[in-house]
Chain A
């Protein structure tokens, strides 16, 4: 089965997620920070009357946080409700997005790639700076390496991080 992967840049790393999970790409605008919240959460933003929780992927992947926030984009994900209609797509079976809208702060969008599942390779061991639990696999495209994120794992990680106790 062919899938389409949306790829984007975070720093100089090329990441990808399934395009069916993407609701939209939005310009970054002012958001309300969450006092005493976990570092993963950058804040809350109003997206046409709905509240978006903005997540810093850098922190989630154990990398230094971004210094400058201008010129960024927000990759806004769909909710579980919105992907329900793709229930026939096998590869979305294990995806759990939750009922809240989430946005990833990214540097820029890159491309949309067609892909068959066989092209996804297991993550090479040298990707030490990214926890392998968060990666579904990697895709080789020419000399570029695209890291396919396991969105469910990232969201779970963020949720468990936001513990106060």
Chain B
């Protein structure tokens, strides 16, 4: 049965495609509620209808019957006879599932039990039983021999070949349509004409209306029974065309077309035409509507060819090979170019075409994320239903494309995240109402491109994740210790949910909470070369961001050499490159017991020698298994500089010593042959530009093999010989924000009055300055990129921006940001050398990223110099320079205030707290004191009391510089003896007040 074998897979494939489009439409139907989108219903109808029709070719009765019943329900729906209730949608979805099941296992489809689905659907659509009275129609007895032959073939089914609903018949009659029985031979009419069953059905639908079909073989139980006969299928077809045109349009001989006797129905119909006139018209309009849409659809359908994945992969390989060949050709031919006229353009052309071919082939592997997004509507719906929650899923960016393998790998983690959101995130409707939120929760699923990567965001507006709760749970489960939990930042606590064996829901639900959860997500995503980030706010919601590479196939890496052999190290694993000069080796590399460490800035980094780890040795003749080199070599062999790659893996970092770094390469990753699977140091292989095979190093494996004892970086206090400022540990709270560029910024929270979010449209431009009306005042907006050496972000003309309004400034200024990322408690080690510019305090590593700390007031000064023209008057007192004692516990502020004062020409003495300040006052003479209020050991209040009670110091000017901004506080301060009360940290005001204080 060759025609059967050839056409069946086509049928299955096309039916599955139909089902794929049907499902989202059914779901959309439910959301539209009572207002039915007829186009949509028609689309579903057509899909089901086509499946029903095509299944007739193969005699799949179960598929035919089920799709027929579904079709009935849909037609009732379309006519407004029934409404899309939740039950109906359920039943239809169930039907789609069963159809899918049967198609997946087509040979067994007849064995499926579809009774419950049928009964269910029939029950729902039984509201208007009239239309389901089935009548049988007979062919007119005046016809050809063909007909008689049929009857001889089918003695037990003489006349009742087709079953149609009485309603349909009435409709045909009233619309003036003819009914034909058409016989189609699978081999002769389809296979030999290279048509698929669907092509035929579509053609038929464009001419009229397909009604029913019947496989014309007696007692067919499966097609394997058929012998060499061509399988025939009878179709019942309604159209207004005459038999001749039908024959012509369908490319069928006339004798295949039989007219069905409709006369007896016609009479009956005429009797009722009057009272049903309106209805007929309605139906008429609809038919034409349907037929036109059908035609339009046909025109739009893009022609596609299906190609196997293996074929595609071969193509990718060949394209790589082609590029390789091109490169070799270029190298060989380049010397000849000068002497061979015409060669150069040809080479250029081949080169360009080759690149394009490779690019296009790579594109072929790209698939839109809609492939996986699609199924989540269904998932969310059923999950929400099971849990009595109301959840809406909104998806954006379905057309964003990713490599096929990534798309496949994403399905599970995303399903898990969405399940989590429904299960843990979104509260019950009652709970939500009580919290003042809309009853239905929203989950947003978003895909977008960002800088060569793809971001996938799963965001819900549910209850969020409480870091404290998570930490407590983690302690209970023994994942961390209590003291660890205490010292963790909120963000780190939340991230505990990614630890293996963590699950916050006590009770195991069928959704999630089996103790394997987010750790699987993170493992899967990392496996795909991506990262996972979580942002959450209690009672506001959770946002999980997956950052993924566009393709797994191409990776950029460094080509490095160890013992004359080339290896690739993926760039994502590399933090930085360090070159240690021969004369520095002694000082920068130290031995700790038998291991070596590198001094890198203020940390000690464990070192791993690649040659040693891979078992390669310097001595050329010894085999790969020979014993590694003498570990003391770095200290002794100091003729060559050392090349060290600083590798980052999870939380740990280490230095990898290599012989040389050759170049950066874009490589196509190939899987490791199975014979090397147990080699932990390699993750894959690739073919280099020179045609050699190179192994790709696996950082995790190297780390394991090296078994570095103390992999945690040892922090070490280094003498500040490079102008680095050594500061004591002091926790400070920062606001982290970004400027719509990859750079991150932080401002001490103490300096901020408030953060506003305003629509971009509200910004008013006056010459080259931007203002915002803010509490009846004109707030001048300052863009960081205008005054700091940072990247310029794209400024959109719509959307909204964030504005940081600092505490008390004389003038109204605000700093524009994209969004606040987080607040962070951290010990800041301010680096004032690496990145420095006017307007910056410096930079620091916060939350694992380099973060710039802008000096807001300095930026304001740069932005509006006219407001900040500091009087540079001689800040001299009796004996030369004025001396100021500054007592401040936070190193950051201590440094900043000192900067301000020295820049204004004062001499500054520093104290970390009140007690130290008093000690200094006993020994030194100063002209004024600046005190912080909140200090350890001895606070500002105690200090001022001590100062005022001292006879000598009674009249010394003392200013409080604090972040305690309450009105009453200032009053209380003045009463306690402070000369001035100033809020942190406005340079101009500070200096002005100080000057006034000193004059008095």
Contact A51 B675 (CB under 8 A): no
Contact of B614 among A35, A48, A81, A99 (CB under 8 A): A35
Q: Is A37 an interface residue (CB 8 A)?
A: yes
Q: Is A144 an interface residue (CB 8 A)?
A: no
Q: How far is the CA of A39 from the CA of B318 in the complex (A)?
A: 31
Residues on B with C-beta less than 8 A from A162 are 675-679
Q: How far is the CA of A34 from the CA of B563 in the complex (A)?
A: 12
**Majority SS of interface residues in chain A?**
loop
| B-facing residues in A31-86 (Cβ within 8 Å) | 31-37, 39-41, 43-46, 48-51, 53, 55, 81
Interchain nearest-CB distance for A24 vs B (Å): 16
Q: Is B393 an interface residue (CB 8 A)?
A: no
Contact B676 A51 (CB under 8 A): no
Known: A36-B614, A36-B679, A44-B685. A51 touches B673 (CB 8 A): yes
Residues on A with C-beta less than 8 A from B687 are 46, 49, 51
Contact of A45 among B317, B321, B565, B693 (CB under 8 A): B693
Q: Is B450 an interface residue (CB 8 A)?
A: no
Contact A37 B679 (CB under 8 A): yes
Q: Which residue of A lies closest to B628 (CB)?
A: A36
Known: A32-B565, A35-B565, A100-B673. A46 touches B679 (CB 8 A): no
1/0 per residue, CB under 8 A from A, across B556-568: the answer is 0000001101100
Contact A165 B678 (CB under 8 A): yes
Contact A46 B565 (CB under 8 A): no
Interchain nearest-CB distance for B554 vs A (Å): 15
Contact A35 B675 (CB under 8 A): no
Contact of B616 among A35, A98, A102 (CB under 8 A): A35
Q: How far is the CA of A34 from the CA of B673 in the complex (A)?
A: 12
Contact of B692 among A35, A40, A46, A159 (CB under 8 A): A46
Q: Is A127 an interface residue (CB 8 A)?
A: no
Q: How far is the CA of A41 from the CA of B625 in the complex (A)?
A: 13
Residues on A with C-beta less than 8 A from B674 are 98-100, 159
Q: Is B936 an interface residue (CB 8 A)?
A: no
Q: How far is the CA of A46 from the CA of B245 in the complex (A)?
A: 63
Interchain nearest-CB distance for A57 vs B (Å): 14
Q: Which residue of A lies closest to B687 (CB)?
A: A46
Q: How far is the CA of A99 from the CA of B678 in the complex (A)?
A: 16
1/0 per residue, CB under 8 A from B, across A85-104: the answer is 00000000000001110100
Contact B675 A53 (CB under 8 A): yes
Q: Which residue of A lies closest to B611 (CB)?
A: A35
Q: Which residue of A lies closest to B610 (CB)?
A: A35
Q: Is B158 an interface residue (CB 8 A)?
A: no
Q: Most chain-A Cβ atoms within 10 A of its Cβ — which of B320, B616, B673?
A: B673
1/0 per residue, CB under 8 A from A, across B135-156: the answer is 0000000000000000000000
Q: Is B694 an interface residue (CB 8 A)?
A: yes
Residues on A with C-beta less than 8 A from B38 are none
Interchain nearest-CB distance for A76 vs B (Å): 13
Contact of B565 among A33, A53, A99 (CB under 8 A): A33
Contact B675 A32 (CB under 8 A): no
Contact A51 B685 (CB under 8 A): yes
Known: A44-B685, A49-B317. A37 touches B676 (CB 8 A): yes
Residues on A with C-beta less than 8 A from B320 are 49
Contact of B679 among A33, A34, A158 (CB under 8 A): A34
Contact of B624 among A35, A46, A55, A99 (CB under 8 A): A35
Contact A41 B675 (CB under 8 A): yes
Contact A53 B616 (CB under 8 A): no
Q: Give the size of the chain B interface in residues (CB under 8 angstroms).
A: 32
Q: Which residue of A lies closest to B566 (CB)?
A: A32
Known: A48-B321, A162-B676, A164-B678. A35 touches B615 (CB 8 A): yes
Q: Is A2 an interface residue (CB 8 A)?
A: no
Contact A34 B317 (CB under 8 A): no
Residues on A with C-beta less than 8 A from B680 are 164
Q: How far is the CA of A113 from the CA of B563 in the complex (A)?
A: 45
Interchain nearest-CB distance for A40 vs B (Å): 8
Q: Is B695 an interface residue (CB 8 A)?
A: yes
Q: Is A116 an interface residue (CB 8 A)?
A: no
Q: Is B953 an interface residue (CB 8 A)?
A: no
Contact of B693 among A40, A51, A81, A159 (CB under 8 A): A51
Residues on A with C-beta less than 8 A from B692 are 30, 32, 46
Interchain nearest-CB distance for A155 vs B (Å): 8
Residues on B with C-beta less than 8 A from A48 are 321
Interchain nearest-CB distance for B242 vs A (Å): 52
Q: Is A163 an interface residue (CB 8 A)?
A: yes
Interchain nearest-CB distance for B869 vs A (Å): 68
Q: How far is the CA of A81 from the CA of B313 in the complex (A)?
A: 14
Residues on B with C-beta less than 8 A from A98 are 674
1/0 per residue, CB under 8 A from A, across B613-625: the answer is 0111000000011
Q: How far is the CA of A18 from the CA of B306 in the complex (A)?
A: 35
Interchain nearest-CB distance for A102 vs B (Å): 8
Residues on A with C-beta less than 8 A from B562 are 35
Known: A159-B675, A162-B678, A164-B680. A36 touches B693 (CB 8 A): no
Contact A37 B694 (CB under 8 A): no
Contact B673 A44 (CB under 8 A): yes
Q: How far is the CA of A141 from the CA of B109 in the complex (A)?
A: 56
Interchain nearest-CB distance for B486 vs A (Å): 39
Residues on A with C-beta less than 8 A from B616 are 35-36
Residues on A with C-beta less than 8 A from B694 are 32
Q: Is B437 an interface residue (CB 8 A)?
A: no
Contact B676 A41 (CB under 8 A): yes
Q: Most chain-B Cβ atoms within 10 A of its Cβ — which of A36, A55, A102, A165?
A: A36
Q: Most chain-B Cβ atoms within 10 A of its Cβ — which of A35, A81, A98, A159?
A: A35
Q: Is B439 an interface residue (CB 8 A)?
A: no
Contact A36 B676 (CB under 8 A): no
Q: How far is the CA of A49 from the CA of B695 in the complex (A)?
A: 15
Interchain nearest-CB distance for A95 vs B (Å): 16
Contact B681 A36 (CB under 8 A): yes
Residues on B with C-beta less than 8 A from A35 are 562-563, 565, 614-616, 624, 681, 695
Q: How far is the CA of A45 from the CA of B679 in the complex (A)?
A: 18
Q: How far is the CA of A165 from the CA of B675 in the complex (A)?
A: 14
Q: How far is the CA of A34 from the CA of B317 in the complex (A)?
A: 23
Q: How far is the CA of A107 from the CA of B88 in the complex (A)?
A: 73
Q: Is B515 an interface residue (CB 8 A)?
A: no
Q: Is B324 an interface residue (CB 8 A)?
A: yes
Known: A49-B320, A51-B685. A36 touches B695 (CB 8 A): no
Residues on A with C-beta less than 8 A from B678 are 162-165
Contact B676 A31 (CB under 8 A): no
Q: Which residue of B lies closest to A30 (CB)?
A: B692
Residues on B with C-beta less than 8 A from A50 are 317
Q: Which residue of B lies closest to A29 (CB)?
A: B691
Q: Most chain-B Cβ atoms within 10 A of its Cβ — which of A50, A51, A102, A158?
A: A51
> Besides A44-B693, A158-B675, 5 other CB < 8 A contacts?
A35-B615, A35-B624, A36-B625, A37-B679, A39-B625
A-B contact pairs, 15 of them (CB 8 A): A30-B692, A35-B615, A35-B695, A36-B681, A37-B679, A44-B673, A44-B693, A49-B318, A53-B673, A98-B674, A99-B674, A102-B673, A102-B675, A162-B677, A163-B678
Among all A-B residue pairs, the 9 with the closest Cβ atoms: A36-B615, A49-B321, A35-B614, A100-B673, A44-B693, A53-B673, A32-B693, A49-B317, A163-B678
List residues of chain A with CB under 8 Å of any chain B CB.
30-37, 39-41, 43-46, 48-51, 53, 55, 81, 98-100, 102, 158-159, 162-165
